[in-house]
Structure 1
Amino acid sequence: MSGFLTYCLQRFTPVLLLLAGVNAVNGQSQHFVHIPAGDYTLGKKGYINNPLRTVHTNGFDIAATELTNAEFEKFVQATGYVTDAERNKSGQVFTPGLREFRWLQDSTACWRYPNGISRGGIENKMNHPVATISYRDAIAYCEWAGVRLPTLDEWEIASRAGASTTYFWGNDMPPLSTYANIWHGRDHLQADSSDGYMYTAPVASFKPNPWGLYDIYGNVFEYCEGHLPTDKAGSRLVHARGGSWWCSKNACGFFNSVDIGSVKRGASFSNLGFRVVKK
């Protein structure tokens, strides 16, 4: 049996590493999904920032999941990097009881304590998406790992999985709870853990879209590269897509393939993270 196992490891390990998408520079191991070249329908009629249109891609490889705490920790351990929230003590966090769109600035909040020290750390959440990081932090990780953020169009192409509807399954919301970690409460005055999670969930806890991408809606907003038609010249805003665990049908329902969020590039919210694309 041992000889057979040795043979299997020698024979199939290169294939397994290829499928896992191992980055040869820094040993970062993530599963990637190849998005084929072609023309894709994006946007929606009447949306100023995301008008209905057809775009072409030459194809790209995008991570199947959002970047986890475990992967971000490798970066921090290797480089000693200090995030914006740690340096500026500017993390924005949430606790049940706040009115809609209200967040608290917590000097203790950072990627290790996404909602502040008083609400616990990530010791048992290494497979959750990294959060409470800024766009600048995401770029720093990408430069180290030899990857990049998806463009706004690439993210949408991957999220739609070939569909031209608001969600990859159609235009109706009901199936959402099967695919996304979101807020199901009527408001944010009372805690909502009805899907098993009040804040983030481990990546891939919900069903993937038809192309194998997990948490494309919900869990954390995902930083993307690109500008919107309404961005002013020289704007320092950056953009994120897909909604988050905080989003509900009554507040910031951006868990779809159409809407695009905006945030300052130094902001660090506990519902903001990212997934990466191979260079």
Structure 2
Amino acid sequence: MRRRARAHGLEALLALAWAAGVLAGAEPAIPQGWTQVGTNRQGYEELENGRDGSVLIRVPAGEFVMGCTDEMSRSDERPAHRVSLSAYAIAKHEVTREQYARFCAATGHELPYRLEELPNDRPMTNVTWAEAVAYCAWAGVRLPTEAEWERAARGVDGRRYPWGNEEPTLQLAALGDSFLASMQVGVSPVGARKKGASPVGAFDMAGNVWEYCQDWYDARSYELQGAGRNPAGPESGVHRVIRGGSWGSVPERLRCSARAREWPEVRSRHVGFRVAR
């Protein structure tokens, strides 16, 4: 317990390094080695990262209401509060097994247990938070903050789920027992459920796998931070924030405002990540 309660030095350094751009509020320019893909169906510009092949969606600066106060909300989602974000970019898909294997081959990082059993188009799971951050450093990106993640998932209209207020179905998200209904075990290919796209055009922001965020988790963080610009969560903590629910989650956990936590050193087949910049 004491070991888990200590903030890991490596994690703290990585978090500070990759949060610097967020806290500075810099506009995301097109980096060297990246290319403009075009505009997606939702009207947002997309860029491709030449290092890992990920496609990122440019989200303009602006405000949205973060959190929830309706009857389905939990205490850590309250109060709903207005947040202002600088422009940023977030990945269209979760990082895949193929992308992570490329990172391991390039850097000498150890392949996680049973990685070879995952098809290439499945989201990468069974990685720790620090391993996800190491991947980001290699690819020239970072993990999204919790606020950035929620803005990309729900847009600015306060919807309950990425696709709207309609309750989840197997056509919209991989959730609950969908792995049994579809004769699959665990995760689905990234981007398989086109109807479940978020307002900015990101896929699988509800279901499939939980996704690491940059922030430390605090059940009272919304009470303590209130409204603000580019919130990055507590300065320290024990758990990291995860968002979005997984293929094993009940519908309530797939809501855009639903928060959860994970030990940063734990590997789980329910947890993966997407990148941001």
TM-score (norm 2): 0.72
Q: 1:236 aligns with which of 232, 235, 238?
A: 238
The 10-residue stretch of structure 1 (42-51 or 239-248) with the greater mean CA deviation from structure 2: 42-51
Q: 1:17 aligns with which of 12, 35, 57?
A: 35
1:148 lines up with 2:150 in the alignment: no
List per-residue Cα deviations over 1:87-135 (Å, max 9, x = no partner).
xxxxxxxxxxxxxxxxxxxxxxx2515xxxxxxx12xx10110001111
Note the residue ranges of structure 1 that are not aligned, 5 or more in a row: 1-13, 87-109, 114-120, 186-191
The 8 Å contact of residues 163 and 169 in structure 1, kept in 2 or not, is answered as no
The change in CA–CA distance for 1:196 and 1:216 in structure 2 (over 3 A counts) is farther
Larger Rg: 1
Q: Which residue of 2 aligns with 1:78?
A: 106
The 8 Å contact of residues 67 and 130 in structure 1, kept in 2 or not, is answered as yes
Alignment partner of 1:155: what SS?
Answer: helix
Q: Which runs of 4+ in 1 moved over 6 A?
A: none
List per-residue Cα deviations over 1:54-75 (Å, max 9, x = no partner).
1111111100000001110110
1:194 lines up with 2:185 in the alignment: no
Q: Which residue of 2 aligns with 1:260?
A: 259
Q: Which residue of 2 aligns with 1:60?
A: 88
The change in CA–CA distance for 1:197 and 1:209 in structure 2 (over 3 A counts) is farther
The 8 Å contact of residues 198 and 245 in structure 1, kept in 2 or not, is answered as no
1:44 lines up with 2:81 in the alignment: no
TM-aligned CA deviation for residue 47 of structure 1: 4.4
- Name the % identity: 28
Q: Which residue of 1 aligns with 2:211?
A: 222
TM-aligned CA deviation for residue 233 of structure 1: 8.4
The 8 Å contact of residues 181 and 197 in structure 1, kept in 2 or not, is answered as no
Amino acid at match of 1:178: Q
The change in CA–CA distance for 1:195 and 1:161 in structure 2 (over 3 A counts) is farther
- Provide the alpha-carbon RMSD of the alignment: 2.5
The 10-residue stretch of structure 1 (37-46 or 134-143) with the greater mean CA deviation from structure 2: 37-46
Q: 2:56 aligns with which of 32, 35, 39?
A: 32
The 8 Å contact of residues 41 and 164 in structure 1, kept in 2 or not, is answered as yes
The separation in 2 between residues aligned to 1:202 and 1:163, in whole angstroms, is 28
Q: How many residues align?
A: 219
TM-score (norm 1): 0.71
TM-aligned CA deviation for residue 41 of structure 1: 1.2
The separation in 1 between residues aligned to 2:141 and 2:54, in whole angstroms, is 11
Q: Which residue of 2 aligns with 1:180?
A: 173
TM-aligned CA deviation for residue 182 of structure 1: 1.0
Q: Which residue of 2 aligns with 1:248?
A: 250
Amino acid at match of 1:31: V
Q: Which residue of 1 aligns with 2:159?
A: 165
Note the residue ranges of structure 2 that are not aligned, 5 or more in a row: 1-31, 38-45, 222-233
The 8 Å contact of residues 125 and 268 in structure 2, kept in 1 or not, is answered as yes
The 8 Å contact of residues 36 and 47 in structure 2, kept in 1 or not, is answered as yes
Q: Which residue of 1 aligns with 2:7?
A: none
Which has more helix, going by share of residues? Answer: 2
The 8 Å contact of residues 125 and 270 in structure 2, kept in 1 or not, is answered as yes
TM-aligned CA deviation for residue 162 of structure 1: 2.6
TM-aligned CA deviation for residue 235 of structure 1: 2.4
Q: Which residue of 2 aligns with 1:112?
A: 115
